[in-house]
Structure 1
Amino acid sequence: MNLTPLEGLSSPSLAERYRMADPAVCGLFGSHPSNSQDWLGRADWLDRTEANRADRSQLASVLRAYQTRIGTHEAAVRAIDSLERDQALAVVGGQQAGLFGGALLIVYKALTVIQTAKYAEELLGRPVVPVFWIAGEDHDFDEANHVHIGSIEGQVKRIRIERPEGARHAVSRTELSSEQWAAAVEELSAALPDSEFKPALLDRLREQVADAPTLTIAFARLLSDWFGSDGLVLLDADDPALRRLEGSFFRRLIERNDEVEAALAEGDSRVRSLGWPVQAESAPGCANLFVHGDAGRVLLYKQNGRFADRRGEVSFERDELLRLADENPDRLSNNALTRPLMQDFALPVLATVLGPSEIAYWGQLGPAFARLEIEMPLIVPRQSFTYLEPGVVKLLEKYEVSPLDIIRRGDELKAQWLERQDQWQLEAKFAAVRERFAELYAPILDTVAQVESGLAKLGEANRDRIMQQIAYLQERAEDSVAKKHDAGLRQWDRMRFSLWPQGKPQERIYGAIHFLNRYGPDWLELWKQAPYDVTGGHRIVSE
């Protein structure tokens, strides 16, 4: 495995400054993963505050039950046992579910969680368990219902499942039919290029959706397939059994809601004072809690002493909401700004693995953690990669360009290459013709304008039509040149579609399923060998 740092891809951002250990930005978080003393300090704080979190035995029961639903791996069960008995700590990362595993960055996040847990275990000399927190409570179905692959035609294709009609419930509460799953698998089958690995891949997907699971369960089963043997423990934030453990913390968030709101506003101000935009601005009067009901999942605001949604369709007295926290906590859920607080209550979080956008809004949360007498866990940047496919490596060598060249200006370089193939110098010759024609035609325009003023516009229109015909002939001639070099142009497109599909990083577009179809299950093992970097960063990987 060859790894090369990909510099210059990330624009200046709060997350990038944090990754580089900028003291001012690190002050928003209170620690940095590059400092071993911060790991020791966090572990010590967790030990001292053990009684303030969810009961480990009850948590372990919830986790075991969920692993049974998605497919148990011995390594994951041993990790849960350790979390219960050995006072193990946890490294946590999470993501919204994704159809057929979602975007490649999810694989990289799970990988980073696993590697960070191993790193911390060696550093601290005590068990550290990797935990992946699936945000099944989120109700934005369109974020979860698709995956992108490279199709037979060589283009990026999106495979998706439409949201069922009705209220916008959490993804984990959105039922899907057997027909929907069958159609999605068949669409995937038709779009994926044939390979020796395709039949087994599709058969496994069909097995996992045979009982018409929710997107969250199907997603968890895939992640368990891919990383369960590495001890990755999976949980769903919307698991009713987990919610029952969280009821007391929901009560705390309700009772101290005004304090939390003020602290979030203070966090916004701190980020702005450093010159950075606020990633997830806290709204005045927002309770930063959702409630689930017949109308779907709705965000609550404080209005005249009550908690209600914007439309006034759902409304609770404070005591009613507290009773809900005590008796039906599964009807409540967090938003992005209170989920990190809940995560810290549910698990002994030594460190949390975050992507750039997540790091940006976690930078706002320091005052909220402090207001609730919680220390923020260590923030570990998710590792990012661009995979150089073997065929693409050969093309880069053939055309003497680098991956960064293709990413930054692939279309420009493609156009320049095609221009160099033009032995007839069409551009220069047609430009000369246009210039010479304009010179020859100018005196005619002057003359006809003198003959009759109304002829000037007619002459200009006539000139423009001739220019259009010259341009048309040039376009046809250039198309003919392009057709002569169609294979070469397709190769330029191949590099671009692989490294920078749809003008975005590879990891944000293609799903792991795209590469597993091309290169088989051993391709996933490649990433488990990637050297770990506690500060993340983007690296190019080739075999």
Structure 2
Amino acid sequence: MEVECIPFKKTGYFSNLICDYLDGKETLSPFYDRPPQIDQFAEQIKAKQNFPSSHREVLYSVLKNQYRDVDTSEDTKVNISLLKEASTYTVVTGHQLNLFTGPLYFLYKIISTINLTKELKLANPENNFVPIYWMATEDHDFDEINYFNFKGKKLQWNKNVSGAVGPLATDGLESILEAFSNEMGNSINASKLKEWFAKAYLEHDNLTDATRFLANQLFGEHGLVILDGNDSSLKRLLAPYVKRDLLENASYNKVVETIEQLQQLPENYGIQVNPREINYFYLLDGFRERIVEQDGRFYVNDTKIEFSQEEILKELENYPERFSPNVITRPLYQEVILPNLCYIGGGGELAYWLQLRAMFMEMKVPFPILLLRNSALVITGKQMEKLKRMNISLADIFLNQSSFINKKIREISNIDIDFTPQRKHLQEQFKDLYELAAKTDASFLGAVKAQEVKQLKGLDNLQGRLLKAQKRKLQDHVVRMTEIQNQLFPNKSLQERNLNFSELYLEYGERLIPHLMKALKPLSGEFSIVKME
């Protein structure tokens, strides 16, 4: 296995906001406390060192309960116990309950989290660090999670649902397993994948338990702790902050201020998410709907449920589990209940986290370090051989397909397709005409300029036609080039956003995760190209 790295900005797949954040651009410094560098974590530990011991006890108790029927590794058991100690801190990533983990980057998120805890332990041996996977059990967008891609096909779970996805019954997934099995064949690795799918979804009653089983199978031996935040004891710790949202619109006011600051920057980054006056849903079996306030009364959107101010505060006191944070307040919830130092997420996630610092300050909750998860392109030995035979560099394959083809055709063509010398020669000729035009009236000068533009455009058209002619002549090479690029960038997007881990597991089996853990360095700040044998 070999690993090469390139800057995120050179891939063409990451926003200016994220690239500027990674570069430490000064204009973004008001939107976070500390950059994601190993020497910054000592200060982050100091910022979080007053995390309440009572919160640790609640967290430990909840995790013990959530793991009571889980085949738990010794490393995970130790990590759960360590969370009771004041010297223990967490690193967190979160992800939806995608069917069979969904896109490949699910693995990269968790590997980044586990690997960072190892680096932190080496740098701060007096402390302990626990990797946490936060399951988004309260999300209600079923259409985002009900499928995964396998060998170019979409395996989709069709089901009429409403409410949070975590409690969803797993019935109806037998047909997905059958279709999946038919595509995989009968190798040893295929048998393991079938076993995992069957045990996760056919032997567990709901999506939360199924996802916990699968994540535990993949990463339990590395000490990963999996947390479901949809718990009444944990929600009780959040209740004071929910109250401020209900009565003061505290989150809304601070996030709006931050958005205004971001919009004043010259870079025009755009806004990832807009807050609501109340940033909580009302959650019951079968539905999760927004809470809205009007004229002093609180309504649950699209239902007949309503409360006076006194009634909703009593509801919060008696049933805190019924108040579900949205995308704005879920990060706050996480930091209230965990002794957390760092959140690891994708570019879109970090973009909305950068809108939240002022809200955290208002709530007097330390803001975590934000780290972009590892991103990677896995290239097989066969694919590397193809690239070498066609003399295609790793930088070349990140070009958009049109630029990629044009660049390579120019390189391999026995005809010079670059008309730059002809353009220069033509412009030199027009210099004499401009001198002549300067001695007469303005109308002639305009005619000369128009003729120059016309002839330069004609040269460009001829160059384009020559390029097209060479593409036709070298069609076989073009086909092979685009074929390998399409393999590595399915749907003209990053591999990690399309492939499911099962495609790589079929090829590499038990070696896959250890190889990726060895290859991915969470603080490298670069995109990884992993060449697997």
Tell whether the structures are fold-level matches, with TM greater than 0.5. yes
Contact 1:54/1:246, CA 8 A, preserved across alignment: no
Alignment equivalent of 1:162, drawn from 147, 158, 161: 158
Letter paired with 2:274: E
Q: Structure 1 residues 82 and 273, CA, compared in 2 at 3 Å: closer, same or farther?
A: same
1:497 is aligned to 2:486: yes
Give 1:35 shift: 6.1
**Offset of residue 479 of structure 1:** 11
Q: Does structure 2 retain, via aligned residues, the 8 Å contact 1:28–1:363?
A: yes
SS of the residue 1:162 aligns to: coil
Call closer, same or farther: CA 1:81–1:393 in 2, change over 3 Å: same
Are positions 1:45 and 2:37 aligned together? no
Instruction: Give, in angstroms, the shift of residue 383 of structure 1.
Output: 1.0
Q: Hey, what does 2:166 align to over in structure 1?
A: 172
Indicate how the Cα distance of structure 1 residues 240 and 214 shifts in structure 2: closer, same or farther if over 3 A, else same.
farther
1:140-159 counterparts in 2 under 5 A? 140-150=141-151, 156-159=152-155
CA distance in structure 1 between the aligned counterparts of 2:92 and 2:407, rounded to whole angstroms: 47
How far residue 385 of structure 1 moved from its aligned partner, in angstroms, is: 0.7
Other-structure match for 2:392: 401
Equivalent position of 1:507 in the other structure? 496
Compute the displacement of 1:63 (Å): 1.1
1:541 maps to which residue? 530
The question of whether the paired residues in 2 share the 8 Å contact of 1:354 and 1:380 is answered with: yes
Does the Cα contact within 8 Å between 1:289 and 1:299 map onto a contact in 2? yes
Q: Match for 1:370 among 358, 361, 365?
A: 361
Query: Conserved in 2, the CA contact under 8 Å of 1:176 and 1:214?
Result: yes
CA distance 1:74–1:258, shift in 2 (3 Å): same
Letter paired with 2:347: P
Partner of 2:77: 77
Q: Which residue of 1 is the match for residue 519 of structure 2?
A: 530
Deviation at 1:39, TM superposition (A): 1.6
Match of 1:110 in 2: 110
| 2: CA distance, partners of 1:305 / 1:15 | 40
- In angstroms, what is the RMSD of aligned CA positions? 2.8
The gaps in structure 1 that reach 5 residues or longer are: 151-155, 424-477
- Classify 1:129/1:206 alpha carbon distance in 2 versus 1 (closer, same or farther; 3 Å): same
- Taking every aligned residue pair, what percent have the same amino acid on both sides? 24
- Structure 1 pair 419–90 and aligned structure 2 pair: CA distance change class (3 A): closer
Residue correspondences, number: 470
Q: Distance in 2 between matches of 1:124 and 1:58?
A: 26
- Which structure 2 residues correspond to residues 350-361 of structure 1 after superposition, within 5 A? 350-361=341-352
Query: Within the alignment, does 1:218 sit opposite 2:221 as a pair?
Result: no
Q: For 2:386 and 2:309, locate their aligned partners in 1 and report how far apart those are by CA, in whole Å.
A: 64
Q: Distance in 2 between matches of 1:421 and 1:44?
A: 58
C-alpha separation in 1, matches of 2:207 and 2:503: 19
Within the alignment, does 1:325 sit opposite 2:308 as a pair?
no
Calculate the TM-score normalised by the size of structure 1: 0.80
Structure 1 partner of 2:66 = 66
Deviations 1:39-67 (A, max 9, x none): 222211212x323x752122112112223
Q: Is structure 2 residue 133 aligned with structure 1 residue 132? A: yes
2:102 touches 2:500 (CA, 8 Å); kept in 1?
yes
Task: Quote the Cα distance in structure 1 between the aligned partners of 2:525 and 2:413.
Answer: 44
Instruction: Verify: 1:209 aligned to 2:205, yes or no.
Output: no
Deviation per residue, 1:440-465 (Å, 9 max, x gap): xxxxxxxxxxxxxxxxxxxxxxxxxx
Counterpart amino acid of residue 538 in structure 1:
F
Amino acid at match of 2:146: N
Shift of 1:171: 0.7
Aligned residue for 1:171, secondary structure, equals coil
* Cα pair 2:373 2:522 within 8 Å, conserved: no
In the other structure, the counterpart of 1:289 is 280
Q: Deviations over 1:236-262 (max 9, x none)?
A: 22245543554444345434x422221
- Partner Cα separation in structure 1 for residue 406 and residue 120 of structure 2: 49
Distance 1:56 1:531 in 2: 31
Displacement of 1:532 in angstroms is: 1.9
Q: CA deviation at 1:491?
A: 4.7
Decide which of 271, 275, 287 is 1:278's aligned counterpart.
271
Which has the larger displacement, 375-384 or 300-309? 300-309
Q: Which residue of 246, 249, 263 maps to 1:254?
A: 246
CA positional deviation for 1:172 = 0.5
1:474 is matched with which residue?
none
Q: CA deviation at 1:542?
A: 0.8
Shift of 1:12: 4.5
Answer yes or no: is the 8 Å Cα contact 2:196–2:214 preserved in 1: no
Task: Provide the C-alpha distance between the structure 2 equivalents of 1:193 and 1:421, rounded to a whole number of angstroms.
Answer: 40
How far did residue 137 of structure 1 move? 0.5
Shift of residue 341, structure 1, vs aligned partner:
0.8
TM-score (norm 2): 0.81
Give CA-to-partner distance per residue, 1:454-501, whole Å, 9 cap, x none: xxxxxxxxxxxxxxxxxxxxxxxx99997xx5xx77754542333111
Contact 2:38/2:120 (CA < 8 Å) preserved in 1? no
TM-aligned CA deviation for residue 176 of structure 1: 2.5
Partner of 2:87: 87
Distance 2:272 2:400 in 1: 28
Cα deviation, residue 157, structure 1 = 1.2
User: In the alignment, residue 507 of structure 1 is paired with which amino acid?
Assistant: E
Contact 2:170–2:201 under 8 Å retained in 1? no
In structure 2, stretches of 5+ residues that fail to align are: 415-470
Q: Secondary structure at the match of 2:11?
A: coil
Residues 15 and 422 (structure 1), Cα distance of their counterparts in 2 relative to 1, 3 Å cut: closer
User: Is the contact between residue 91 and residue 132 of structure 2 (CA under 8 Å) also seen in structure 1?
Assistant: yes
Amino acid in structure 2 at the alignment position of 1:170:
A
Which of 27, 31, 37 matches 1:28? 31
3-state SS of 2:283 partner: strand
* Letter aligned with residue 92 of structure 1: V
**Structure 1 pair 349/517, CA: closer, same or farther in 2 (3 Å)?**
same
**Cα pair distance change 1:14/1:414, threshold 3 Å:** closer
Give how far 1:513 is off.
1.5
